[in-house]
Amino acid sequence: MAADTVFAKIVSGEIPVEILAETDRVLAFPDISPQAPVHILVIPKSTAYENVAELAAAEPETLAEMVAVAKRLAETHANGDYRLIFNSGATAGQTVFHVHAHVLAGDLEERSLGAS
């Protein structure tokens, strides 16, 4: 369960962030350690899911909303082209165990796959 993560504290308002997009189920804000010219995190407000597979199985509509928000952010903050990354598990680079998507944009090359 993702209830004790930094993202849960952001959702609860305990940790303030610059909110770039918000819906009833989704929140988006800049990554504090950007790996690209545009690096935005999109998270569900629910703290019930540690990874994208759990979210997809339980709430596919929330996952679809995360993708739609990512697309809108890329249109607003970049030229509409973007990379969407979900890391699942510590050995895959996941450091916060609250499902989240990395929206990366801005002069990316195929070999530049870094994101945590």
Angstrom distance (rounded) from CA 113 to CA 116: 10
Based on the residue annotation, tell me whether 39 is a catalytic residue of this protein: no
pLDDT in tens, the chain (116 residues): 556 899 999 999 999 999 999 999 999 999 999 999 999 999 999 999 999 999 999 999 999 999 999 999 999 999 999 999 999 999 999 999 999 999 999 877 766 455 44
pLDDT (0 to 100) of residue 18: 97
pLDDT (0 to 100) of residue 13: 94
Among 77, 98, 100, 102, the one annotated catalytic: 100
pLDDT (0 to 100) of residue 2: 58
Q: What is the CATH number of domain 6-107?
A: 3.30.428.10
pLDDT (0 to 100) of residue 108: 77
**Radius of gyration in angstroms for the set of CA atoms belonging to the chain, rounded to a whole number:** 13
User: What proportions of the chain, in percent to the nearest 5, are helix, strand and coil?
Assistant: 30, 20, 50
Nearest by Cα to 101 from 8, 27, 12, 6: 27
Q: How many Cα atoms are found within 13 Å in the side-chain-facing hemisphere of 2? A: 27
